[in-house]
């Protein structure tokens, strides 16, 4: 669509100056006045951030026809009305589920007030509590994740819920699909959600019918229709598996062969995932059902999919809970799955979780992300964190999957390097992991990239960890990955030709529109 509008812009000028040359001056001034009024209108709109408004204004002032058409077609960032209405009703329904998390919050508060505050933020914005009776297992690569996923799927007894941005026919997905088929034949409730845009080049048309012919329930998230609308921009970027309400998986790994290096696209594919067992899986179940009920089974009993799990903390006195939490401080593992959606107007949960971690860091923050497109708040949090003498390191790919986005990622290097942040490029290939680990005490693993698409446009999910054995494993994995990565030098900017610096600066300016 962008290419088409650029062509229309060129044809417009050809038509104006060559066919109706006598009117070209009048038309030129009309377009200029129109662009000025539209720019003033955009800047005067209530709500919205100036860093998002300014790229629109620049685009319209430099390219009146292209910019104006592009704005009128894509200015509306609202979620499709049907999806918004159904999601709101499902959020209301799931919010009535009793979480019984008071004991967990109280124990966390006694251990670390700053982490408690972060956890409370997540809970109050997503209705997803923290749990102290669950366990996690971290996977430093897709291959290990895949082996455990197959094992757990084969042990399913009651239901299997799968929600992914990308499914692709091949060894990984075909193996999973065969297990789902066998389980469905045995009476297991098997449901699959995949994103239509994510699978547009990986699955045949009407693939939903193929899946349902195997006895598996299937829905396609936000189907692509031949209509120009920004509603297509809201995608389901989550990666969730729930098995019997007792086991949950998430991370950056999609069900496609490059994620387990059975197919090489951009060198070695480095990704990560995590498995959760225990009460915390309830949150994954609720996330999946909220999406599922957009399309069907809206009135089913949600609590039937939330098995009771034994809480370590009982209804003893507050004093006893306090003593127990302090005595067993080193043994406690706190796990909080959470979600983020484009329906949020003020709270950008996915971004704010990262910002809060940076603002509370004392010693170090280590980040792995495939994309680094920063809005002002996140950039400021990174810089301020480094200026407090916190060791901030970021690993990004050396081999890009999207060259334009990679150029924008590199456009951030100079500013971050000047602040003292160390940046590494993963030289063996493409790193797709979305991890943050901080001060040996907290970490996140999930589907959330450091970019505007994850923060503002997509349905995402993550897991917040405190005092978990997985945190050390995430740290060790980062150090191991750093050793095979090239560190970007502090004089990086001086080695880049001026023409390239100008191009990347323009790309960075327009990055909120990516």
What single string gives the DSSP state of each residue in 174-213? HHHHHHHHHHHHTT-EEEEEEETTTTTTTS-TTHHHHHHT
Report if residue 192 sits inside a domain: yes
What does the pLDDT read at residue 474?
98
Indicate whether 192 and 207 sit together in one domain.
Answer: yes
Q: In the predicted model, is pLDDT for residue 325 greater than 50? A: no
Report if residue 125 sits inside a domain: no
Report if residue 380 sits inside a domain: yes
DSSP symbol at 488: P
Indicate whether 371 and 281 sit together in one domain.
Answer: no
Rounded Cα gap, residues 448 and 238, in angstroms: 8
Indicate whether 297 and 340 sit together in one domain.
Answer: no
What does the pLDDT read at residue 165?
96
What does the pLDDT read at residue 17?
66
Sign, Cα dihedral of 440, 449, 237, 57: positive
Rounded Cα gap, residues 460 and 239, in angstroms: 8
Count CB-CB contacts under 10 A for residue 142.
Answer: 29
Instruction: Select from 277, 293, 314 the last residue of a domain.
Output: 314
What does each C-alpha distance from 506 to 65, 130, 339, 370, 423 come to in angstroms?
20, 42, 32, 21, 22
Indicate whether 375 and 300 sit together in one domain.
Answer: no
Indicate whether 296 and 242 sit together in one domain.
Answer: yes
Sign, Cα dihedral of 427, 428, 433, 439: negative
Better-predicted residue by pLDDT, 400 or 158:
158
Crossing angle of helices 81-95 and 281-292, rounded to 10°: 140
Report if residue 174 sits inside a domain: yes
Indicate whether 267 and 401 sit together in one domain.
Answer: no
**pLDDT level of residue 506 (50, 70, 90 thresholds):** low
Break the chain down into helix, strand, coil percent, rounded to 5: 50, 20, 30
Give the mean model confidence (pLDDT) for residues 449-466.
92
Report if residue 337 sits inside a domain: yes
Mean residue pLDDT of the chain comes to: 84
Indicate whether 496 and 376 sit together in one domain.
Answer: yes
Structural domain of 42: 2-74
Q: In the predicted model, is pLDDT for residue 46 greater than 70? A: no
DSSP symbol at 263: S
Two structure tokens written together for 75? 């200015």
Bridge partners of 240?
163
Bridge partners of 192?
162, 218
pLDDT by residue (tens digit) across 250-279?
Answer: 999 999 999 999 998 899 999 999 999 999
Rounded Cα gap, residues 369 and 448, in angstroms: 9
Q: Which is it for strands 334-340 and 189-195: parallel, antiparallel or unpaired? A: unpaired
pLDDT by residue (tens digit) across 17-34?
Answer: 666 666 666 766 777 777
Cα angle 150, 156, 159 (rounded to 5 degrees) comes to 120
- CB 72 within 8 Å of CB 35: no
What does the pLDDT read at residue 309?
52
Q: Which is it for strands 334-340 and 159-164: parallel, antiparallel or unpaired? A: unpaired
- CB 198 within 8 Å of CB 236: yes
Q: What is the CATH number of the domain that holds 102?
A: 3.30.870.10
Indicate whether 347 and 301 sit together in one domain.
Answer: no
Indicate whether 86 and 42 sit together in one domain.
Answer: no
DSSP string, 51-100: HHHHHHHHHHHHSHHHHHHHHHHH---PPPHHHHHHHHHHHHHHHTS---
- CB 421 within 8 Å of CB 389: no
Q: Please, which residues have CB within 8 angstroms of residue 508's CB and are 6 or more apart in sequence? A: 408, 411, 412
Report if residue 319 sits inside a domain: no
Rounded Cα gap, residues 475 and 437, in angstroms: 6
**pLDDT level of residue 306 (50, 70, 90 thresholds):** confident
Q: What is the CA radius of gyration of the chain?
A: 24
Sheet holding 239-243, edge to edge: 135-139, 273-277, 247-251, 239-243, 159-164, 189-195, 217-221
Two structure tokens written together for 359? 């603002």
Domain count, the chain: 3
Give the mean model confidence (pLDDT) for residues 168-174.
96
Report if residue 22 sits inside a domain: yes
pLDDT by residue (tens digit) across 106-118?
Answer: 899 999 999 999 9
Indicate whether 476 and 335 sit together in one domain.
Answer: yes
Element (H, E) at 508: helix 498-509
- CB 429 within 8 Å of CB 267: yes
Rounded Cα gap, residues 119 and 101, in angstroms: 11
Bridge partners of 424?
395, 487
Q: Is 46 exposed, middle or buried (0-12, 13-18, 19+ CB in 10 A)?
A: exposed
Report if residue 124 sits inside a domain: no
What's the gap between Cα 412 and its chain centre?
A: 20
What does each C-alpha distance from 367 to 289, 422, 449 come to in angstroms?
30, 10, 10
Indicate whether 259 and 216 sit together in one domain.
Answer: yes
Rounded Cα gap, residues 157 and 243, in angstroms: 8
User: pTM for the whole thing?
Assistant: 0.82
Indicate whether 167 and 190 sit together in one domain.
Answer: yes
For residue 124, which of 320, 309, 353, 463 has the smallest C-alpha distance?
353
Give the mean model confidence (pLDDT) for residues 456-475.
95
First to last CA, the chain: 14
Q: In the predicted model, is pLDDT for residue 310 greater than 60? A: no
Bridge partners of 193?
163, 219
- Mean pLDDT check: name the lowest of 244-253, 291-300, 474-483: 291-300
């Amino acid at each position: 669509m962008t290419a088409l509008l650029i062509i229309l812009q060129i044809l417009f000028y050809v038509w104006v100056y060559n066919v109706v040359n006598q009117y070209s001056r009048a038309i030129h001034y009309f377009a200029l006045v129109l662009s000025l009024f539209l720019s003033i209108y955009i800047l005067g709109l209530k709500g919205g951030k100036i860093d998002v408004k300014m790229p629109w204004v620049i685009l319209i002032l430099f390219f009146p026809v292209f910019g104006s058409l592009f704005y009128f077609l894509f200015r509306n960032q609202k979620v499709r009305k049907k999806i918004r209405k159904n999601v709101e009703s499902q959020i209301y329904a799931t919010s009535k589920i009793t979480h019984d998390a008071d004991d967990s919050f109280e124990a966390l508060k006694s251990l670390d007030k700053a982490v408690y505050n972060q956890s409370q933020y997540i809970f109050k914005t997503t209705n997803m509590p923290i749990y102290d009776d669950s366990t996690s297992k971290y996977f430093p690569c897709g291959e290990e994740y895949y082996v455990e996923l197959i094992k757990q799927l084969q042990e399913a007894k009651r239901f299997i819920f799968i929600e992914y941005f990308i499914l692709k026919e091949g060894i990984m997905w075909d193996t999973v699909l065969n297990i789902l088929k066998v389980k469905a034949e045995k009476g297991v409730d098997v449901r699959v959600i995949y994103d239509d845009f994510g699978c547009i080049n990986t699955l045949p048309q009407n693939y939903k019918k193929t899946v349902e012919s195997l006895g598996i329930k299937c829905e396609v998230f936000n189907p692509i229709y031949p209509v120009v609308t920004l509603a297509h921009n809201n995608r389901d970027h989550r990666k969730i598996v729930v098995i019997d309400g007792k086991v949950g998986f998430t991370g950056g790994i999609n069900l496609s062969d490059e994620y387990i290096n059975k197919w090489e696209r951009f060198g070695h594919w480095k990704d990560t995932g995590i498995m959760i067992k225990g009460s915390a899986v309830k949150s994954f179940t609720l996330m999946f059902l909220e999406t599922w009920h957009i399309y069907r089974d809206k009135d089913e009993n949600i609590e039937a999919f939330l098995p009771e799990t034994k809480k370590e903390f009982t209804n003893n006195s507050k004093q006893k809970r306090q003593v127990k939490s302090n005595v067993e401080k080193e043994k406690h593992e706190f796990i909080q799955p959470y979600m983020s959606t484009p329906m949020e107007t003020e709270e950008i949960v996915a971004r704010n979780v990262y910002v809060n971690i940076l603002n509370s860091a004392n010693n170090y923050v280590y980040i792995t992300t495939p994309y680094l497109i920063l809005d002002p708040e996140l950039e400021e949090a990174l810089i301020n964190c480094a200026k407090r003498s916190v060791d901030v390191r970021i690993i990004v790919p050396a081999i890009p999957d999207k060259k334009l986005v990679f150029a924008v990622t590199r456009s951030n290097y100079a500013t971050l390097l000047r602040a003292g942040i160390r940046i590494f490029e993963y030289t063996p290939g493409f790193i797709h992991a979305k991890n943050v680990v901080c001060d040996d005490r907290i970490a996140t693993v999930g589907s959330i990239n450091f970019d505007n698409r994850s923060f503002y446009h997509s349905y995402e999910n993550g897991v917040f960890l405190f005092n978990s054995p997985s945190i050390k494993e995430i740290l060790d994995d980062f150090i191991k990955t750093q050793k095979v990565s090239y560190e970007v030098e502090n004089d990086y900017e001086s080695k880049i030709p001026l023409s390239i610096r100008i191009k990347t600066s323009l790309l960075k300016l327009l990055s909120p529109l990516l």
